Amino acid sequence: MEPSVSDERLRALSRLFSGIGLARVMELEDRLDPQLEFASDVARRWGTGPGALCSLLTALVSYRLAMRGEEWWRCFRDFFADHECPGDPRGAADAVGDFLKSCRGAAVARGVKLRRLERALAARPVLERLLASPREVLLADHRGLLAAVASALGQRPDDKTVVFSLKMAYYACRGTSCPGASLPMDVPIPVDVRISCASYSSGLVDVPAGSDPVRTVMAHPEVARRAWTDVALGSGIPPLHLDTVLWAIGWAPRDLGIEDARSRIYESLEPVIGDRLASAASDELARRPCRVVR
């Protein structure tokens, strides 16, 4: 059986995020997501276009990592502090390939990841436009970028790594040429382990009794994608911005008891959104642990 979406929880989460608002969610991104800092650092070092392209290509191979995502993107930033991110697709792919060979986070299936980089170069025309006009491509021609990258890789434009590549390229631009700009509403959330946990823990997505919540949601990512898109439309906050908040706190209901998870979520959010909203968010987002319930 597939997961199902709770309309009641969808409305409650829409109200919660509507109360928080896009401006505070973007402030939370600055505070909670080191990936934004690391991608921006590379863009400031080598320019917005090259930084966005190297971030995009790296995101396309950011799966089955041998380290946490935060550590992986720190490794990315540290590598490109000393190695050029070139201003052409071929050179950028070669540089990201060298990064993959140097960072232990890519140890699993490194050869597969390197071949994936080569296939991504079939999207060269749009990658060249990204280099020349990153803000325009990321914020106005994002559908063309996603479609071209997905086609090059033989995937769907809403697949997890394809969508994530747009987000990381945007992060590079956010710290340089795109300050204050928000992502489009029509790009879905990338459903990974943390988003799957947040989907279940919040009560937004239900799974059949006895099944593993995270594995079940990840096996049917379209259910969570649709649900969070509806929350985005109801709150006015684009899915990829909701993603940052959910990603930052989505580990807690999986790794901690529910009361400890609520405390950690509250502590993370309160400095930006205040006591009332942080209390509400911790209650709404951590209603049940992400474990098998029999």
Contacts of 15 (CB under 8 A, 6+ apart): 234, 235
Contacts of 94 (CB under 8 A, 6+ apart): 86
Largest CA distance in the chain: 54
Tokens of 108: 């699993």
How does DSSP assign 132-163, residue by residue?
H-HHHHHHTSHHHHHHHHHHHHT--TTSHHHH
Burial class (CB in 10 A: 0-12, 13-18, 19+), 17: buried
Contacts of 69 (CB under 8 A, 6+ apart): 35, 62
Q: Find the catalytic residue in 41, 159, 192, 230.
A: 192
Q: Tell me whether residue 113 is one of the annotated catalytic residues.
A: no
Q: Tell me whether residue 167 is one of the annotated catalytic residues.
A: no
Pseudo-torsion of CA 241, 249, 37, 26, nearest 10°? 30
The Cα–Cα gap between 148 and 162 comes to: 10
Stretch (H or E) spanning 4: strand 4-5
The Cα–Cα gap between 170 and 183 comes to: 8
Contacts of 23 (CB under 8 A, 6+ apart): none
Neighbours of 293 (CB within 10 A): 11
Contact 123, 151 (CB under 8 A): yes
Q: Find the catalytic residue in 41, 113, 158, 160.
A: 160
SS3 238: coil
Positions annotated as catalytic residues are: 160, 192
